Structure 1
Amino acid sequence: MHDTPTDPASPLRIGSLFSGYGGLDLAVEHVFGGETVWFSEINEPVARVFAHHWPDAPNLGDITRISWSQVEPVDILIGGFPCQDVSTVGKRAGLAPGTRSGLWAHMGTAIEVLQPQWVVIENVRGLLSSPAIRPITEGDDNAPRNPCAATPDDTALKRPEIVGGS
């Protein structure tokens, strides 16, 4: 079914963000043969359902308050951050500070700090065409990381470093 080697004696460790009731966790555990070791969910009734199915996984709580340097490292980081601001049926505010979908920035910080081997993100198709503004992380040197859009337009395609020209 999949090519990911797994060792039942030491399954891949999964950290879950925006966990909900754990649907994405079930799928990732199945595909990777992993084990969810912690999660982050602020909706208490939903977190109780998650905790019922993963009683040994602590809830780290509000993603905006987590100190990632204090979090147990994982092999796989997963999450389905809020889609309201990137959905094609929404107002298309995008991934910007202060928006629900802007919570993506906190997941981005978790990825930077934890450096997992795999990242699995679940979201709506509108994410691919949404504007994105990520606040500068404290101590960041502000160096450009991704100078091009995820879905390049004609201007991006004419840039030599994108098409491999000189």
Structure 2
Amino acid sequence: MHDQEDQPRRLRIGSLFSGYGGLDLAVEHVFNADTVWFSELNQPVAAVFSRHWPGVPNLGDITTINWHEVEPVDILIGGFPCQDVSTVGKRAGLAPGTRSGLWAHMAEAIDALRPEWVVIENVRGLLSSPATRPPAEGDRHDPRNPGDATLRELESDPWYLGDLAARPLRALGAVMPNRWLC
């Protein structure tokens, strides 16, 4: 018989935009992991999540979390709002002030927590929706976010992620920057 100490430590999951926990169930199963905290703003939905994961704390509103005070995790998961990048939505893209723009808060969590794995769930519209580039220090904003960029220009090359500052940035290019693809 083996002691608990002989068992490998299960991976820990931090969950963002958790909803009812569908993504959590899948990731727990695939990675043989445990969800140790979640972030869900909608209280009735968070109550359902808490019923299935009793004792797992809800960090609440992702825009108010100090990631330097959060328990580190091995896997960070989330399905940030898709309304602005969905092909059936308004196509506002990833931009400050949009619901899909909440992605920036997940990016902050990734940068601060540096998990071994990140699992992001979203819609196909990330391949064709625009994103607003944050201004770089000493860089002019206009060429980074050309006003004449159209969805047709974005669709001409379905895997172009917008690496050049003078080209439109695709939402997927904002979600998967090279610094995370190591």
Same fold (TM over 0.5): yes
Q: 3-state SS of the aligned residue for 1:106?
A: helix
- In the alignment, which residue of structure 2 is the partner of 1:162? none
- In the alignment, which residue of structure 1 is the partner of 2:55? 56
Letter of the aligned partner of 2:65 in structure 1? Answer: I
Provide the C-alpha distance between the structure 1 equivalents of 2:95 and 2:116, rounded to a whole number of angstroms: 26
Letter of the aligned partner of 1:110 in structure 2? Answer: A
Extract structure 1 runs of 4+ deviating beyond 2 A: 133-136, 140-143
Provide the C-alpha distance between the structure 2 equivalents of 1:121 and 1:151, rounded to a whole number of angstroms: 18
Contact 1:105/1:135 (<8 A) preserved: no
Provide the C-alpha distance between the structure 1 equivalents of 2:69 and 2:24, rounded to a whole number of angstroms: 22
Shift of 1:79: 0.2
Deviation per CA, 1:106-147: give whole Å up to 9, x if none: 0000000000000000000001211112557xxx9689xxx9
- In the alignment, which residue of structure 2 is the partner of 1:98? 97
Structure 2 unaligned blocks of 5 or more: 1-5, 145-153, 165-182
Shift of 1:151: 2.5
Provide the C-alpha distance between the structure 2 equivalents of 1:34 and 1:8, rounded to a whole number of angstroms: 13
- In the alignment, which residue of structure 2 is the partner of 1:18? 17
Contact 1:68/1:110 (<8 A) preserved: yes
Provide the C-alpha distance between the structure 1 equivalents of 2:105 and 2:138, rounded to a whole number of angstroms: 17
- In the alignment, which residue of structure 2 is the partner of 1:127? 126
Residues 142 and 75 of structure 1: CA distance in aligned 2, closer, same or farther (over 3 Å): farther
Contact 1:19/1:39 (<8 A) preserved: yes
- In the alignment, which residue of structure 2 is the partner of 1:33? 32
Residues 92 and 29 of structure 1: CA distance in aligned 2, closer, same or farther (over 3 Å): same
- In the alignment, which residue of structure 1 is the partner of 2:149? none
Structure 1 unaligned blocks of 5 or more: 1-6, 157-166
Residues 111 and 50 of structure 1: CA distance in aligned 2, closer, same or farther (over 3 Å): same
Shift of 1:19: 0.1
Question: TM (normalized to structure 2)?
Answer: 0.71
Letter of the aligned partner of 1:151 in structure 2? Answer: W
Residues 134 and 73 of structure 1: CA distance in aligned 2, closer, same or farther (over 3 Å): farther
Deviation per CA, 1:24-72: give whole Å up to 9, x if none: 0000000000000000001111100100111121000000000000000
Q: 3-state SS of the aligned residue for 2:159?
A: coil
- In the alignment, which residue of structure 2 is the partner of 1:46? 45
